[in-house]
Amino acid sequence: MMAVQSRSGLREPVRAEGYAPIGDYGAIGDGRAVALVARDGAIDWLCWPTHDSGSVFGAILDASRGGSFRLAPVEGFESEQRYFDNANVLETIFSTATGTVRVTDAITMDGGRILPWHELVRRVECLGGQVAMQWSVDPRFGYATAAHTIETIDQGFFCASSAAGQLAILAWEPWHALHSGDSVAGEAVLKHGDRATLALTYTVTGEPVPRPERDEVEDRIDRTTAGWREWLSAHDYVGPWREHVERSLLVLRLLSAPSGALVAAPTTSLPERIGGDRNFDYRHSWPRDTAFMLDALLHCGLREPAHGALTWLLDALDDTHPRVNPVYRLSGEVLDHEFEVPLAGYRGSKPVRDGNTASGQLQLGAFGDLLHAAWLYTELGNRLDPLTGAHLAETVDLLTATWENEDSGIWELPDRHHYTASKMGCWLAFDRGAQLVAQGQFPDDGRRHAYIEQRARVADWIESNCWSDSRGSYTQHPETEALDVATVLMGRMGYGKVAGERAERTLDAIRRELVHGPYVYRYSGMEAEEGAFVACSFWVVEGLARAGRIEDACELMDEAVEFANHLGLMSEEVDPATGELLGNFPQALSHLALINAASTFEAAQRDGDSE
C-alpha cells in the first residue's frame, strides 16, 4: 500500500550476551519520546513521558533487568527493516520456514499533532503461509527502580501502575494474552491475510487511563504516516545526497520536542568504546546544536521549526541571562544534576548516567553559537523583538569581559585551556553582534564599535598564540601541538577570511593526522580512547567544499554517508576497525553535520559551475 525505502536485507538477528548491536535499531517517536526497535522485534529503549524521563523499557542498558517489549515469531527467523517512505514509521519483515509476517511500528499522532496521551502501536500482518507469533511486555519504570503492579482490567486490557506512571497494554483478537507477575505476554498463530494489533498507552500517575479502540489505533498509524510526509514535503532541498538529507531531516523532527528544544540524542550512556566509561547522557539540548539546526533547517527552507528552535533557546536563556550555559534541560530549565543509574550498562559499559555535568562548565563557544543562530534568523528578513535584542546585546557585553578566560572547549574537557575553537567562537559572537547592531536588531549605544574592536582583539590573539609554524596549523590550544578538527569550523563562522591561507593549511594538517580514510578523530591522541566522530567527517567535507576542493569533498561525503545503519540512522561515533556504531543513537549532531555538509557542497559546486 505504501512505498518504502532503505531495505536492510534479510538476515538472522544477532545478540551478544543479550545485547543487539547499536546499529541494529530503528527509531520511532512523536517528538516527546523515542523508542528503539531492534531488528529482532524487541523494543529495548523507551522513556516516557519525555526523552529525559526515566526509562520504561531499558534493556539496551541492562539486558537482564532493564525491561523490554518483545515481539517475534516463535520459531527461528530472518528479518529485515525499512522505513515507510518519508516517514518515521518502521516496518520489520520476519521470514520463517513456514511463512512471512510484517510488523509495523509507530508512536502514533493525530496526523501531525501529538495525542493527549502517549501511544505506541504494533500492527502484525501475515503476508504468506502461517506463522506462530509471541510477545511480552516487561515494563521496568524509572530505570528499573520503581516497583509496579499489573492489573487485568478486562479481556486484552491490562494496566501496569507505578509511581513513575501508568502503562496500559491492549491486545485485540486473535491474541491470547495473560499477565503473570510483573509482565504481560501473549501469542497467536497467524495465517495469510490475518492481522493482529497491540498497543501501549502511557499516562502520568493521577491521570485517567485511556482505552482506545482497535480501529482508532490502526487508523492512527496511517494518519501518523501522512503527518510525517506532510511535514517533510515542506523542505526545498534539491542538491546531491537528497535521500540522506531527507532521512536526516526526519531524524531531527523525531528529536524536536514540542517546546522547540532539540534533544542531542534520545539515549543515555551508550558507550564511545565498548567496556569504557565515556558514557554520557545526551537527552538534553545544547545551544551549539540549535545553531547547527538553524543552519540545516534554513538551508532546506524549513522556517517554522527554525523559529521554534530559536524561540526555545531564547526562553531557556532567561534563567541564566546574560550567561550562556553549554546545555539546558528540554524544559528550558537549568540542568543542575548528574547521578549514576543502577543499570549494568550496554555490554557492561558503566556507568549509566542521568544528567550531565557539562552544564556547569564555561564554554565560550556557546556565545558564538547563540549569536550565530540569532543572526541566521535575521538574515532571512526576520526581526528580533526589542527585549530579545537588548538581552542578546547584554550577553555579548558579558563576553567582552570573559573571552580572555580559559574554558572547557567544544569537547567539554575537564582541563581548562585557551582552546582555539572557543576563541574562534568568541570572534563569531562579536562579528555577529556587530552585524546585528548594524541591522538595528540590537541597541547601539556604542556597541557596534566596541564589538568590532573586540573582534579584532580576538583575531590578533588567535593569530599570535594559536598558530604553530612547526605543525603548519592552528593547534588545539597554545600549550600543545595537538590538532583539533573543531578548528575546521572556522569556515562556517567566516573566520576563514581572517585566517587566509592558514585555514587551508590547517585543513591539510588535520587530513594528514586525524583523517583515516573516511574516519575522522576529534583531536590528536583519541584513536586509543574512542571511535571516529561521525560529525567530524562531515565537517571536513564542509571545509573541503569551502576551499573549492570539490572532488575531494565529494569522495569523502560518499564514504561518510555510509556510516548510517540500514535505516539511514547515524550514531555519535563509529569503530573504524569493525564499522560498529558507537555512542548515543541516533545522534542529532551527526545528522545536522550531514545536512550542512550536503548544503555547503551543493552551494560550492553551483558557484564553481557558474564561474
Percentage of residues in the chain having pLDDT higher than 90? 96
Q: What is the pLDDT of residue 103?
A: 98
Q: What is the pLDDT of residue 528?
A: 86
pLDDT for residue 401 is more than 90: yes
What does 230-277 look like in DSSP terms, one character per residue? Answer: HHHTT----SSSHHHHHHHHHHHHHTB-TTSPBPS-S-B---SSTT-S
pLDDT band (50, 70, 90) for residue 3: very low
Please give the average per-residue pLDDT across 4-20, as a whole number.
80
Tens digit of each residue's pLDDT (9 = 90 or more) over 129-186: 999 999 999 999 999 999 999 999 999 999 999 999 999 999 999 999 999 999 999 9
Cα separation, 569 vs 37, in Å, equals: 12
Tens digit of each residue's pLDDT (9 = 90 or more) over 405-417: 999 999 999 999 9
Tens digit of each residue's pLDDT (9 = 90 or more) over 83-102: 999 999 999 999 999 999 99
The CATH T-level fold of domain 4-231 is Beta-galactosidase; Chain A, domain 5 (2.70.98)
Q: What is the pLDDT of residue 5?
A: 37
Please give the average per-residue pLDDT across 106-112, as a whole number.
94
Cα separation, 589 vs 609, in Å, equals: 30
Greatest alpha-carbon pair distance for the chain in Å reads: 78
Upper half-sphere CA count for residue 277 (Cβ side, 13 Å): 2
Instruction: Please give the sequence-ordered ranges of beta strands (E in DSSP) within 74-117, or none if there are none.
Output: 78-84, 90-95, 99-107
249 touches 305 (CB < 8 A): no
Q: What is the pLDDT of residue 1?
A: 27
Q: What is the pLDDT of residue 608?
A: 72
Percentage of residues in the chain having pLDDT higher than 70? 98
Q: What is the pLDDT of residue 197?
A: 98
Nearest to 260 by CA among 135, 101, 107, 377: 377
pLDDT band (50, 70, 90) for residue 341: very high
pLDDT for residue 44 is more than 90: yes
pLDDT band (50, 70, 90) for residue 396: very high
Q: What is the pLDDT of residue 606?
A: 87
pLDDT for residue 271 is more than 80: yes
Q: Using the structure block, give the residue that is written with the C-alpha cell 525499512.
A: 82
Please give the average per-residue pLDDT across 10-22, as a whole number.
96
The dihedral over CA atoms of 261, 388, 487, 262, expressed in degrees to the nearest 10, equals 0
Please give the average per-residue pLDDT across 444-459, as a whole number.
97
Which helix or strand (DSSP H or E) is residue 507 part of? helix 501-513
409 touches 419 (CB < 8 A): yes
Count other Cβ atoms within 10 Å, centred on residue 194: 16
pLDDT band (50, 70, 90) for residue 558: very high
Please give the average per-residue pLDDT across 547-561, as a whole number.
98
Count of positions (residues) in the chain: 611
Q: What is the pLDDT of residue 4?
A: 33
What does 464-484 look like in DSSP terms, one character per residue? Answer: HHSEETTTTEE-SSTT----B
| Distance spanning both ends of the chain, measured CA to CA | 46
Region of 424 on the Ramachandran plot (φ > 0 left; ψ -120 to 50 alpha; else beta): alpha
Across the chain, what does the average pLDDT equal?
96
Cα separation, 439 vs 435, in Å, equals: 6
606 touches 587 (CB < 8 A): no
Q: What is the pLDDT of residue 609?
A: 66
